[in-house]
Amino acid sequence: MKNSMTVQKLTPRRILIAEDDPVTRRMLQVFLEKWGYEVIAAADGIDALRILERDDAPTLAILDWMMPGKDGLQVCASVRALSARPYVYVLLLTARNEKDDLLQGLESGADDYLTKPFHAAELRARLQVGQRILELQAGLTQAHEELLYRATHDELTGLVNRRMIMEAIEREHSRQIRIVGNFAIIVLDVDHFKNVNDNHGHLTGDAVLKEVARRMAACVRPYDTVGRYGGEEFVIVAPSCERSAAAGLSDRILSAIRSAPIESAGTNISVTASCGVSISNRSNMLNPEALLRLADQALYRAKEAGRNRAEFAEEAELAPSV
């Protein structure tokens, strides 16, 4: 019987060769391609730096010390000065073997060096060390990104969490003070959510929250922040949003939530939500605490008025507070 498993092809490791001598460059290319590398070649330092500055730059590089345009040290120093880029492991190729010269190469940012004439086996071994270091760094970077995501997002819905919501409100409040703009917050609560959990179970309740979050996220603008505040309560932070725009946004969200039943475990559940809206504008600049308090009060009135609706903070409640 044939094996039904598909073998995943490994992506070739990409490497840059920067060497002005065509014979040495060709020899390096033959070795590297034999070892499974995808080779990108450059004949001078200027071309090498241009390649390493690209978004799709290789993360392994062999740089000759002496090259026209820019030497290997200059290229290495320029690469190290690039910010927010994947790390490039640089192997410096040089005919110099004086200790001071080698130290200078490492101080320029090179990770390793190899003196000419080199042995193919030594070159391969040093590149394997570089590859292991790059893989280790990639793993650490991925772990850091995962930890950062978990610290800033709600695990169930994938929306930002309460802490990030508060940071977004604080950020808009600070921006408003600087430029005298306006912004709105919408506090939304799923109606009768306890009944969903009691009648259908918490797994179904989780499915409802995830779908409500998805529908909300589909309604907001790219620069709005939508997050889970806690339980079945969500908050939307909407920059540059006056009353009419906030009314339109809240109506779209409520309409999307009630537009179709949510299916879970073979059961269709009709869901509605209520929301309270408060706005901080140039005539009523409200601090984050006041905005949340007023939106909560408006949400309470929406619940009292029959749910499935939006209510705005009342004018009498609005008082300037920076």
**pLDDT tens, 248-291?**
999 999 999 999 999 998 889 999 999 999 999 888 888 999 99
Q: Name the CATH code of domain 13-150 (choices 3.40.50.2300, 3.40.50.300, 3.40.50.1100, 3.30.450.40).
A: 3.40.50.2300
**Mind telling me the catalytic residues?**
232
- pTM of the predicted structure, to 2 decimals: 0.69
**Residue 7 or 291, more confident:** 291
Domains of the chain by residue range: 13-150, 162-317
Q: Name the CATH code of domain 162-317 (choices 1.10.357.10, 3.40.605.10, 3.30.1330.10, 3.30.70.270).
A: 3.30.70.270
Q: What is the pLDDT of residues 112-133, one digit of tens each?
A: 988 888 889 999 999 999 999 9
Q: Percent of the chain at pLDDT above 70?
A: 92
Kindly tell me if the per-residue pLDDT of 152 is higher than 90.
yes
Kindly tell me if the per-residue pLDDT of 235 is higher than 90.
yes
Question: What CA–CA distances, in Å, run from 94 to 26, 68, 105, 219, 314?
Answer: 17, 14, 9, 59, 75
